[in-house]
Structure 1
């Protein structure tokens, strides 16, 4: 055989029969996922912030463009393990989505709303660099779990140039087509909101640290500021929202998601709620084939609305 730079189409392949070998057919449409680790998307106050990017690919369409989900990994707003769910998120990536997992400035570095500002700048980064990552700049949704669910909801509430926004990409929008909130810590309004947080609302609690290391029992105005439902009004324009919560979540009470769902419905928002029977705070239940299919259907609904 001649040694040269063969194209895939012209390469003859191996055709000899091999006794005992089993030949399995392929189509070229099988979806794989590449992982790009620690991609710096911003540097704020000399703090580098990174993305973990999952890229779907097929043999037949190496240059295909995919919708993108910017996903905020939860951490009680503390330092994140941004790698912990990449393997499970790959199930959704295989359905044809670029997924960019966001590192934000944690509460030990910067208080609310720094996390929202960072996530919105990650959205802008993916929009600016869309061609590099085979992403559709007009097909971006935001998602997150736990504290990342809180951040993802606020990403959909924030407005360009508003108090929750601080763009590092002038002229680039951080708007999204949809929001996916997985068991988000969306409210600071309920005494039973965090069933296993014994220092609830104190200066050293996750929510107290987020809001500036303050005793939230003495600052109800900060509880309202950090609670998603307090920002929801009939006039607020929001992307469609999918909320998923387990019924045995010991970290963030399911009631938080139920109350947010009911407030959004009352204000005329496009929202759906899925309650996973027996599911705790995170786990494989949220990334089964069924749940990835529901997320896929929801994202497609969001992308096809306009």
Structure 2
């Protein structure tokens, strides 16, 4: 799917502000599409990061952001970032941090509350969201504006968090996703294969670059200073093992950070690309809350729509007027 693909019709009251330049890293314009809700704001905002194995995709590889979020009062910002065919780690996460700084610096002209900005990502985008939120100063590139890069919340959709353990955790019998992202993904390859998407992103096989692999793993950057995180993963994910999300939740819990982990029964990889997902729901899921979020880590069984659960998290985490 390319940036020239047609977008779904905008919902009533939502305005599209396309092709905004947020960075010129690497000598090229890096673009964002903004979906603006009705009203002057200031509104909370969510920066959406597409998936695609860090190798393909762009800001239009996304669910219906107008329908699910902008209509509910959120400014949605879907961005491009440098893919591994152009530049490897850490270029993509530097672009995400630049987008955060740009949105904070230009918040007034877009009707955004700079203190209520969240990140949301699918797969590789979930990985980048976690990395940028956990270590924004580490990944502040030279093209980043001199403003704060912190965010108020993160939604991580099945992103890898520990490149050193993916091989051991993968289920060879798990089914591939059927969404637009997964349709382009090759079958997972081991971390010893230089053609694996993870290795193309990292710039080598994991065993040869252990320090780089750890630096690129969000798990290495977890601390009590982490913003509140919602981690969502399907039980049938054949690309990124659900155990990766379990690792992240447990590390955040130990660190004293606020975290929620949703394990959704029967879903495979890439479900955040499915705009009509909740029409097949509600889904059986288990929710775990970290101790800092008021939980015990024990599983709580519930049924909910996925988009409904994400909006509920945002409503609780980014409260305030003008939404």
Q: Is it true that 1:189 corresponds to 2:204 in the alignment?
A: no
Q: Which runs of 5+ in 1 are unaligned?
A: 1-29
Displacement of 1:76 in angstroms is: 0.5
Q: Is it true that 1:38 corresponds to 2:19 in the alignment?
A: yes
Q: Is the partner of 2:72 in helix, strand or coil? A: coil
Q: Is it true that 1:273 corresponds to 2:257 in the alignment?
A: no
RMSD value, Cα: 2.3
Preserved CA contact (<8 Å) 1:88 1:287: no
Tell me which residue corresponds to 1:55: 36
Q: Is it true that 1:302 corresponds to 2:309 in the alignment?
A: no
CA distance in 2, matches of 1:66, 1:293: 19
Displacement of 1:286 in angstroms is: 8.8
CA distance in 2, matches of 1:133, 1:231: 31
After TM superposition, the runs of 4+ consecutive aligned structure 1 residues lying more than 6 A away are: none
User: Which stretch of the first structure deviates more once superposed, 119-128 or 220-229?
Assistant: 220-229
Q: Is the partner of 2:16 in helix, strand or coil? A: strand
Summarize the Cα distance change of 1:256–1:167 in structure 2 as closer, same or farther, 3 Å threshold.
Answer: same
CA distance in 2, matches of 1:193, 1:107: 24
Q: Is the partner of 1:107 in helix, strand or coil? A: coil
Q: Is the partner of 1:68 in helix, strand or coil? A: strand
TM-score by length of 2: 0.76
Q: Is it true that 1:108 corresponds to 2:69 in the alignment?
A: no
Q: Which has the higher contact order (CA 8 A, sep 6+)?
A: 2
Preserved CA contact (<8 Å) 1:192 1:253: no
> Residue 75 of structure 1: which of 39, 52, 59 is its match?
52
Summarize the Cα distance change of 1:243–1:78 in structure 2 as closer, same or farther, 3 Å threshold.
Answer: same
Preserved CA contact (<8 Å) 2:235 2:265: yes
How many residue pairs match? The answer is 267
Summarize the Cα distance change of 1:275–1:285 in structure 2 as closer, same or farther, 3 Å threshold.
Answer: farther
Summarize the Cα distance change of 1:187–1:287 in structure 2 as closer, same or farther, 3 Å threshold.
Answer: farther
TM-score by length of 1: 0.80
CA distance in 2, matches of 1:134, 1:159: 23
Tell me which residue corresponds to 2:68: 91
> Residue 154 of structure 2: which of 170, 175, 179 is its match?
179
Displacement of 1:48 in angstroms is: 1.6
> Residue 219 of structure 2: which of 204, 229, 234 is its match?
229
Displacement of 1:288 in angstroms is: 2.9
Tell me which residue corresponds to 2:127: 150
Q: Which runs of 5+ in 2 are unaligned?
A: 1-10, 172-186, 280-304
Q: Is it true that 1:209 corresponds to 2:181 in the alignment?
A: no
